[in-house]
Amino acid sequence: MADEERTEKQRGGGAQDAPEKPASRLEGDGRAAVVSEPAPAGEEDPFRWHTGAKRDHGAEDAIEFIDVKKSFGRNTVLNGLNLSIPEGKISMILGPSGTGKSVCIKHMVGLLYPDEGDVLVHGESVPSMSDDELFEMRKKFGVLFQDGALFGSMNLYDNVAFPLRQHTDKGEDEIAEIVNRRLKEVGLAGAGDRMPNELSGGMRKRAGFARALVLDPEIVLFDEPDSGLDPVRTALLCELIKEVHEENGGAYVVITHDIMSARRVAEYIAILWKGRIVEAGPAEELFNSDNEFVRQFLAGEAQGPLGME
Ligand SMILES: Nc1ncnc2c1ncn2[C@@H]1O[C@H](COP(=O)(O)OP(=O)(O)OP(=O)(O)O)[C@@H](O)[C@H]1O
Ligand SMILES: [Mg+2]
């Protein structure tokens, strides 16, 4: 919170006030006082576009990140992240490559732990869960990892049946009913005996989606469902995500850097950059944001504050 406040104040202060603010502290040559400011004159504040605006999404929070910091060695990936994912909506986390979107998802399911701060799922702190609690908590989630992550040695049917066999004591008849229903839902009815390497990228994604749904998850995470797909298949997959969400409800979190996908399916958008949310809010509000960074990013333009760093 302290960081957020500092950024807020600094932003409120803005460059125009710069001569006044340090002046009130000037003593001697005054330089020491200026150096202690978070963004000394002449150096750009890396968080100047981060309004941290938390526009109301009008729902309960399914997932919350509270002041989360995460570094790998000297590489700070999440740097005081505050983010809420609303219940019952399709949310998208957008951000340039390598900003920590996948790292974010891994915190939600307890595959990574924050160095500082907390991650709450339905109000419960993931980092403080015991192994048993974590195991139970993960049943709430359906996850479609970035590469589809099907088991190469199993046919589609067995891939989709896998979570049911592992996490439930349902009999094979009931499992067959669920697996066939989910395969049909994603347009793969009749493809159950195909092996993953016989499928196109789009079919593998859809199979991964079917597998993510078999335990009737309350929360579904998609890590770049559109990566490696052509524009038509991406559009079809987006439609599928919307349809399945309408049918099943729950909190969907879709990670992407594809703005077209965001336009198609997002109800709530959070833009991640430099380890914090630049802005988050209902999709239509973000697409009309007057924040230069948000405008550039959502328009996919070369001109603007976001460069090739
Ligand atoms: N387990 C790990 N160990 C060390 N560094 C990691 C680990 N996981 C991620 N990172 C680093 O964290 C940063 C963010 O990675 P992440 O995969 O979350 O990016 P991303 O936003 O998902 O990017 P992309 O859009 O390319 O998938 C990268 O610099 C990456 O090298
Ligand atoms: Mg990623």
50 Cα–ligand 1 center, Å: 21
Contact 22, 10 (CB under 8 A): no
102 Cα–ligand 1 center, Å: 6
Contact 276, 50 (CB under 8 A): yes
Ligand nearest to the CA of 76: 1
72 Cα–ligand 1 center, Å: 9
Among protein residues, the one with the nearest Cα to ligand 1's atom 31 is: 98
| Confidence class for position 306, pLDDT limits 50, 70, 90 | low
Beta bridge partners of 118: 66
Mean of the per-residue pLDDT values of the chain: 81
pLDDT of residue 106: 93
CB-defined site of ligand 1, < 6 Å: 72, 75, 77, 95, 97-103, 257
pLDDT of residue 303: 66
The answer, yes or no, to whether residue 294 has pLDDT greater than 90, is no
More confident residue, 283 or 229: 283
The answer, yes or no, to whether residue 36 has pLDDT greater than 80, is no
Name the DSSP class of 44: P
Among protein residues, the one with the nearest Cα to ligand 1's atom 14 is: 100
Ligand nearest to the CA of 93: 1
Instruction: From the options 3.40.30.10, 3.40.50.300, 3.40.605.10, 1.10.3720.10, give the CATH code of 47-140+217-299.
Output: 3.40.50.300
Domain map of the chain by residue range? Answer: 47-140+217-299
Strands (E), 87-182: 90-94, 116-121, 124-125, 141-144
pLDDT of residue 236: 83
pLDDT of residue 297: 83
Alpha carbons 204 and 264: distance in angstroms, whole number: 21
Alpha carbons 309 and 307: distance in angstroms, whole number: 6
- ∠ at Cα 220 (182, 255), nearest 5°? 120
pLDDT of residue 262: 84
More confident residue, 170 or 53: 170
Q: Which of 102, 106, 254, 274 to mutate to test the pocket of ligand 1 (most atoms within 8 A of CB)?
A: 102
Q: Select the highest-mean-pLDDT range: 26-30, 124-128, 144-148, 211-215.
A: 124-128
Nearest atom of ligand 1 to the alpha carbon of 95: 21
* Residue matched to tokens 């038509």: 232
- CB-count burial class (<10 Å; 0-12, 13-18, 19+) for 61: middle
Contact 63, 217 (CB under 8 A): no
More confident residue, 2 or 252: 252
Ligand nearest to the CA of 73: 1
Among protein residues, the one with the nearest Cα to ligand 1's atom 7 is: 72
The answer, yes or no, to whether residue 308 has pLDDT greater than 80, is no
281 Cα–ligand 2 center, Å: 22
Residues around ligand 2, an ion, CB closer than 5 A: 101-102
| Confidence class for position 1, pLDDT limits 50, 70, 90 | very low
Task: Determine what percent of the chain is predicted with pLDDT higher than 90.
Answer: 43
Q: Minimum mean pLDDT among 1-15, 122-136, 271-285: which range?
A: 1-15
Nearest atom of ligand 1 to the alpha carbon of 224: 27
Q: Minimum mean pLDDT among 28-42, 52-66, 161-175, 247-261: which range?
A: 28-42
Section 59-72 average pLDDT: 93
